Amino acid sequence: MTRVRLCYHDRCFDGTASAALFYRFYRECFETAAEFGFTGMTHRAKQPWEEGLFDGDENAIVDFKYSNSSKVTWWFDHHQSAFLTPADALQFREHPGRHMYYDPTYKSCTKFIATVANEKFGFDISPLAELIHWGDIIDGAQYASAEAAVEMVEPATQLALVIEAAPEDGLPARIIPELAYRSLAEMVQLPLVAQHLGPLLKRHRDSIEILRQRCDSRDGVVFFDVADLDLEGYNKFIPYLLHPEAIYSVSVSASKVRAKVSLGTNPWNLANANANLATLAEKYGGGGHQRVSAISFDPADLPGAREVAATLAAQLRQS
């Protein structure tokens, strides 16, 4: 029996959906009985690939950075900042592994994996159409309005809230095998999801009031600092609901594993949104996509995070 180590972007709807899609794809196209172990990956200030992590016969990474380890047999990513070093990027370009796929033009990694699995391996993606659709909406910020992104009535957005913010370590890993075979409406009824939903929806509504007090919107940039609160998993569209005039958002938050500066673009005010936020974040060791990116700091370096956030907010206000 093949053992598969599947590393995915933790606490992220697209990362979890990518893992579910890969899980079903591998079982249907390669080995039904393969034994999976799931590892959620978090962006941190230090090198993410720890010794001994790739312990499977197959080691897969989805919706997360490239690893130059020869043990990695599958890789799918769509982030602009996919490579830790220029040497890694060169290695991938010159000697891509047989099952290594990278395309930063995809709005979601879920859709990217689905397309490759279908076109190259004949995987039937029709049962997963709903999941693929929502992966693109959520990771690509393609909601009709800020209200639609924040109101949390769709099962997909409720599930995303639980994946991103539930205070239970390892929860996405328990969600993945279910998500591979169930509808989103069924998913939010499952006890492992439903038990978190009530408290998280209340916390979400409270966070709108907190951000109403903390947001400072000037010259096209809404800035807020919530590093003193347990609020890392806040909904990233709330600032644009409160300040539709903003083009960008810059924020500081903190958790046990990192201090974090987040940069975002208002998806409903794109006329003058020309800054590449991934490129800006890369200057400080972070990364992401053109329209949304982040920089992770050691949890002890909150002052450093605050300084970088202030610098970037000032820079975006002048752009």
Residues contributing to the site for Mn ion (CB under 5 A) = 14, 63, 109, 139
Coil, helix or strand for 249? strand
Name every residue whose Cβ is closer than 8 Å to that of residue 315 and which is 6 or more positions away in sequence. 280
Name every residue whose Cβ is closer than 8 Å to that of residue 123 and which is 6 or more positions away in sequence. 25, 28, 29, 114, 117
CB of 289 to Mn ion, least distance (A): 8
Q: Quick one: 162 or 211, whose CB is closer to Mn ion?
A: 162
Q: Quick one: 107 or 243, whose CB is closer to Mn ion?
A: 107
Q: Quick one: 110 or 224, whose CB is closer to Mn ion?
A: 110
Q: Quick one: 220 or 293, whose CB is closer to Mn ion?
A: 293
CB of 288 to Mn ion, least distance (A): 9
Q: Quick one: 109 or 165, whose CB is closer to Mn ion?
A: 109
Cα separation, 162 vs 100, in Å, equals 30
Task: Single out the residue of 34, 125, 130, 122 nearest to residue 73, CA to CA.
Answer: 34
Residue 75 and residue 60 in contact, taking contact as beta carbons nearer than 8 Å: yes
Task: Single out the residue of 271, 215, 263, 270 nearest to residue 243, CA to CA.
Answer: 215
CB of 160 to Mn ion, least distance (A): 12
Coil, helix or strand for 175? helix
Q: Minimal CB distance to Mn ion: which residue? A: 14
Q: What angle do CA 281, 44, 99 make, to 5 degrees?
A: 90
CB of 228 to Mn ion, least distance (A): 29
3-state SS of the chain: helix, strand, coil percent to 5? 45, 20, 40
Residue 239 falls in which region: left (phi positive, over 0), alpha (psi -120 to 50) or beta: alpha
Residue 29 and residue 123 in contact, taking contact as beta carbons nearer than 8 Å: yes
Residue 281 and residue 287 in contact, taking contact as beta carbons nearer than 8 Å: yes
Give Dmax (Cα) for the chain.
Answer: 59
- Residue 85 token pair: 């070093």
Q: Quick one: 14 or 164, whose CB is closer to Mn ion?
A: 14
Q: Quick one: 243 or 291, whose CB is closer to Mn ion?
A: 291
CB of 9 to Mn ion, least distance (A): 6
CB of 168 to Mn ion, least distance (A): 22
Task: Write the DSSP symbol of residue 8.
Answer: E
CB of 194 to Mn ion, least distance (A): 25
CB of 12 to Mn ion, least distance (A): 6
Task: Write the DSSP symbol of residue 127.
Answer: G
Q: Quick one: 14 or 58, whose CB is closer to Mn ion?
A: 14
